[in-house]
Structure formats: C-alpha cells, structure tokens
Structure 1
Amino acid sequence: MKKSSEAAYALLFARIKKLESLQTLSKHECIVQGVLDAIDANELKVHDSLPSVNMLIKELGFARETFVKAYRDLIAHGIVESKNRKGYFVISNNTSMQQKVAVVLYAYDTFQDTLVSELKANISDDIVVDLFFHHNNTETFEDIFNRINGRYTVYVVAPIENERSKELLLSISPTKLLLIDRFMDLGDDYSFVAQEFEQSALKVFSDLKPKLERYDEIVYFFRKNTAEPDALKSAFMSFLKDSNLNGRIEKKYKQGTLEKGKVYFTIHNPELYLMLKEVVQKKWVLGRDLAILAHNDDVIKEIICGGITTFSTDFARMGELAALFINTRYIIQEFVPTVLYDRQSV
C-alpha cells in the first residue's frame, strides 16, 4: 500500500470512529458519512482507492454486512464503484448524494412514455430524471453524450448499433450504465434490459400463420437507416421462406395504395394511422377485406378500429427493471419477452 493511501485510510478511520462516538448515527451511516466527509475534505480524491472490507473489519470491528451495505449505498449514489478483484474506488466528488439519471431514448412515443413512467414510479421522488432523444442519429447521439457525460450518476441509454456509439458507451463505468430497449454487447460487466427481435418476431409470424394464409400477400413497410431493427426484416424473410406465403418489402406506405386481400405490416405509428384512415374512408373492414399488423402495443391500438393486432415487449417491465438498476446498481442482464396481442385487424 502506498504511503499516501495509508495516510488517507488513517484519516478515514478516525472520521468514522469520531462519528460513531457521537452515537447519533448507525454504524452503516457512520461509514457512508465518513467517506463523504473525507471526499469533501479532499482527503479522498476521484480515482483514489478505498479500504477493503477486510481492512475495515480489522480496523473498526463492525460486521461485514455493515461495510458491504455502506459501500453499496455509495455505489448506488454514484460516489464509488467496485472493480472486480481490484477493490472500491472513488468516482465522483458529488457528495450531495442527489442522484441524477439521464435517460437517452430513440424518440418519444406512447410506449416509451410507459417505460419512463414506470421507471419514475419505482424510484425516489428526489431523484432527478432528464430525458434525451437521439432519433437513431449518431451525430445527435454524440452531441447528447458530450453534454451529459460526467454530469449524471446513472445513464439509461438506448444504443445505436455502430462502433462509435459503442466506443462512447464503453467510457461509462458499468455501475453507472444500463442499456435499454436494444442490446449491445459491451461485456459481462455491463447491464441491459432489451428486446429480442428476430426469434420473437419469427414466432409471432408463425403463430399468426393460420390467419395470414387467408390473404393473397403480406407487405412489410421497412425503412433502412432508421430505428427499425434489421432483425425484424430477417425474421420476416425467414417466415416467408418457411411458410411458402407470398410477401414483399416496400420502403414506405403511399396513400391510396392499399388493396383488398392483403396484409400490411408497419412499426411506424404515423404510417399506421394513415393506413387506418384510408381503410375507414374506403369503408373496408379490417380482418375481412384486408389485414393490418403493427408493432409496440399501446392503449390506442387496443381500441382503434376494433383493435389492431400487434406484437410488443412489456415496456412497463423495462421501466421497472431500469428502476431496480438505479436503486441497487446490481448487474441486470435480461431480455424482456415479446407478447402477441391478437385482435380484429388480422
């Protein structure tokens, strides 16, 4: 151990013992406050190591669980991080202990609102949550990153699938970053709560096959270079090949081009609503004259035009898991299941 570390540890032990002697704080609170006071006094600086749990037990005699809980609280507030086999380190001098969470998503939509609402409902009211949207644009993503990096205790980010975004995200400590909605492999130490697209979509198409067989063709409106996952396109093409059903991909819907006897699939809500407008104007009946399939369920799709068949992940569950990460900083690595909502439109 370096002499500078020995001196810093001695000062820290003295602070904790003094706080304990006042008998106004619990042992766990003495440890947390001792570390915060040492940072405020510049006795502990960013990147400095903290005493190991075994060292604290030997010096102060508290139970192991007490030290673990104290360090866990400091981690949860973005003051300290744990590095595998290296120990605990100071990563912030924001000793006010107020948590600020940056949530960076693709774009605002009703299902994203569900995610954020559930996240907020499951964390303390005094935690600040700021929203940002990158619209699947790398320059926008980098601009947001440069503005927020180092200013928040937790980052909840929907990643863009390219190397530049990955490079930026890897600069954030694993204890402070949760990938949301989309999966990106940053290594075993990083947390994610994401959708799985290809196999889930393939299962949905297969489950709907008895209904889809009633129609002449399936048309999927797929836009390249957007937030639309390529995995959905792969699942669609695999399904057509395996099922021997007729289908094709078009870039986008053009008003007035819907035809009877066909299934139309889109994941873009504005496009969906324009198609529904055309169906209503032509006085056609969904599920009889033609079919429409959508992605990402919400209450509007549940009630409009008798109900739109959708498949969707559970965004409320995503929000709950994001809150769990914010509250505990435990590693979470979970794919949230996709659910088919089979309604009248197919």
Structure 2
Amino acid sequence: MLTSKAFENSNLQKYKQIIVAVQEAISNGALKKGDKLPSVNTICEAHDFSRDTVLTAYAALKNKGVIVGVPGKGYYIKSVKTDYKQRVFLLFDELNAFKEVLYNSFLEALGEAAEVDIFVHHFNPVMYKKLIEESAGSYDAYAIMPANLPNALEPIKLLPAKQVYLLDQVRESGTDSYGAVYQHFSKDISKALYSGMDLLKKYERLVLVFDRRKEPLGMQEGFIRFCTMFSFSYEVTAEFQSNLLKPSSVYILPNDNDLVHLLKAAKTQKLIVGEDIGVISYNDTPLKEVVAEGITTISTDFKAMGSLLATMIKHKNSSQIANESSLIIRNSL
C-alpha cells in the first residue's frame, strides 16, 4: 500500500498526490525496479479516489518512464533511474543580471539531460505558495529560492525531500533534509569587510541600506557584528535617501536601484566616490567594473553556483554546500 503525507494535503490535486507517493516510495527504497504497484481499485478504495484520478496519475508516471502497464496484470516499476529527461522546476525570487548568469550556467551544466521550467515569485508569499503547490508531482527536481519569505518551508513540505534543492538562502532550522547551494550571508559580509579593513578605516561610519522584506537577515546580523567587534560607528536604514548621504561614510548597498540613486545624489552634492564617500555594492556584474571608475562589490560566483546546482541534481546529491563570497576592491572604496 502506498503511504505518504501527500494524501493528507487537500491543496494538492489528487492525481498529483499519487505521483508524489510513488516518487517518495522509490526514493526511500520502498519500491524497487520490478515491484508491482497497488491496483487502481485498491487506491480508489483506500483514498476515495475515482478511477480516472488513478489512471491519470499512472499515465503521467508511464510517460516519465517510471512505470509500465502489463495488460491483465497491473502496473510495475520500470525504472528507478532517470534514464529519461529530468523535468526541473526552478523558482527564482526575482530576475536580474546575476540571476541570468546563474541560470545560463545551470542550463549549460545540465546539458541535454533535463528540461527546465523557470518561475519567479517576486517576493510575493501568495505567488510563492501557489507556484510550489501547483508544481508538486509534476517534476523530478525542485530548485527553489525561498528568500526570507514567512513560512517559506511550509509549501516545500508537499514535495519529496530528496527532490528539493534550496538556492541562495537557507534557514538555520528545518532545512536539514534538503539539498542546498547557499550563501552564508552573515559570515560572508563579516569576512568581506574584514578583508577591506585598511580601506574602511579612512571613513568615520558604515551605513547598510537593508530592506528586510527582501534581503537575507544574516547580512544585517553579520554587518552589526563586524561593526561592533571593530568599533565602527554604523547605521542600518531600510532605504536610501539622498539626505542620508554624508562625507566620510561608506554605503553598503545590496540593491542596485539604491546604487543608482546614490551615484546620482553624489554627483548632485559634488561628493567624489572613493574619496569623500565609499561605496560597496552586492553581486558583481561587468557594468560595475566601469561605473564610477569601478564599484567595489561583495559577490559570490553565480556561474559556479549554477554549475554546482546542476551537478547536484544530476547526481541526486542532497548535500548542503556554501558558495563562498569575496570582496572585489575597486575605485569606489
């Protein structure tokens, strides 16, 4: 008999509940190649499903090459290997230049072994939940950027844990059963600022522009810890405003829109970037190499992140691996 928490999820379409249950049974070894599946009637009686519901689920599994139907005998596990094209659900929080680098690297590393459907939740918790619930049972792997959305792990619980890969941000609790390629934001910002200590000392204070609705909380924690440990005067503000711009300050800007506003304000106030004020942006792009004679960045290697994610999915590796970040020093500091 198939058992799965998916059968308790009223938000998941009934035929997808069956697909998830079969996938989980294969993942945990309860079903092996050649094993017979419960009959259509057995599943109907056990879960009060219609025959059409069960047949729809079995047809989807047949199309994936997972099961085979034998006339007069029933349905059997055909393969527990992905000798068919994997279908990958990729959920980003937003689209931007560095996410494009990650995406292209991911596709290149996967090659012809998989088909990828990309979705974006735009930090909208309702959209995030809806996209995951509607995808459940339809993919072989789920790569998800949960950002710092409230209750972000709840809809993920609908998915087979071994098929889930968290990307970019990982919560400290409740994520041990999932694979992940992530940034350690608290550690990374502290390490990056420490590596630029000599340059930071020429300024009187550090300012982090931090929108807690979108940015990882660890970033703020690591910033405050660094400033406290090395006795830097500091400020954390939710958004950049031109009246906040003061000489002898370093501005750390995770959001590129804030970077644009700062550069415009500095020009208006005749403040020289790299002399009167310091600027550190997040996430390196080719444009930041040339803007204002070079913008200093704290950045991870998004190309490496995409490639590593693809490798983990292809080999069903559920490890959690930190993608290191570093400070790239340019004229703006």
Shorter chain as normaliser: what TM range? Answer: 0.7 to 0.9
- CA offsets, 1:60-101, max 9 Å, x none? xxxxxxxxxx74xx2x36xxxxxxxxxxxxxxxxxxx33221
Alpha-carbon distance between aligned partners in 1 of 2:94 and 2:216, rounded to the nearest angstrom = 14
Task: Tell me if 1:289 matches 2:276.
Answer: yes
Aligned twin of 2:198: 210
Alpha-carbon distance between aligned partners in 2 of 1:149 and 1:328, rounded to the nearest angstrom = 21
Aligned twin of 2:124: 137
Task: Tell me if 1:192 matches 2:180.
Answer: yes
Q: SS of 1:293's equivalent? A: strand
Alpha-carbon distance between aligned partners in 1 of 2:252 and 2:36, rounded to the nearest angstrom = 65
Q: Which amino acid aligns with 1:220?
A: L
Query: Structure 1 residues 182 and 41 mapped into 2: Cα distance closer, same or farther (>3 Å)?
Result: farther
Check the 8 A contact 1:170/1:186 in 2, yes or no: no
Alpha-carbon distance between aligned partners in 2 of 1:137 and 1:330, rounded to the nearest angstrom = 29
Q: SS of 1:124's equivalent? A: helix
Larger Rg: 1
Q: Which amino acid aligns with 2:206?
A: I
Among 223, 226, 229, the alignment partner of 1:242 is 229
Percent of pairs identical after alignment?
23
Q: Which amino acid aligns with 2:303?
A: A
Alpha-carbon distance between aligned partners in 2 of 1:169 and 1:209, rounded to the nearest angstrom = 40
Query: Structure 1 residues 197 and 306 mapped into 2: Cα distance closer, same or farther (>3 Å)?
Result: same
Check the 8 A contact 2:136/2:158 in 1, yes or no: no
- CA offsets, 1:91-118, max 9 Å, x none? xxxxxx3322111111111111111010
Aligned twin of 1:39: 68
The two structures, once aligned, show a CA RMSD in angstroms of 3.0
Q: Which amino acid aligns with 1:340?
A: L
Residue 307 of structure 1 and its aligned partner are, at CA, apart by 1.0
- CA offsets, 1:240-281, max 9 Å, x none? 211112111122111354222211111001111111122234
Query: Structure 1 residues 324 and 216 mapped into 2: Cα distance closer, same or farther (>3 Å)?
Result: same
Q: How many residues align?
A: 277
Query: Structure 1 residues 41 and 318 mapped into 2: Cα distance closer, same or farther (>3 Å)?
Result: farther
Alpha-carbon distance between aligned partners in 1 of 2:35 and 2:231, rounded to the nearest angstrom = 74
Aligned twin of 2:104: 117
Aligned twin of 1:103: 90
Among 301, 321, 337, the alignment partner of 2:324 is 337
Query: Structure 1 residues 135 and 283 mapped into 2: Cα distance closer, same or farther (>3 Å)?
Result: same
Check the 8 A contact 1:101/1:154 in 2, yes or no: yes
Q: SS of 2:281's equivalent? A: strand
Residue 298 of structure 1 and its aligned partner are, at CA, apart by 1.4
Aligned twin of 1:303: 290
Among 242, 255, 258, the alignment partner of 1:271 is 258
Query: Structure 1 residues 161 and 274 mapped into 2: Cα distance closer, same or farther (>3 Å)?
Result: closer
Residue 37 of structure 1 and its aligned partner are, at CA, apart by 8.4
Gaps of at least 5 residues in structure 1 are 13-32, 52-69, 78-96
Check the 8 A contact 1:135/1:227 in 2, yes or no: no
Residue 305 of structure 1 and its aligned partner are, at CA, apart by 0.9
Alpha-carbon distance between aligned partners in 1 of 2:327 and 2:35, rounded to the nearest angstrom = 60
Alpha-carbon distance between aligned partners in 2 of 1:345 and 1:180, rounded to the nearest angstrom = 30
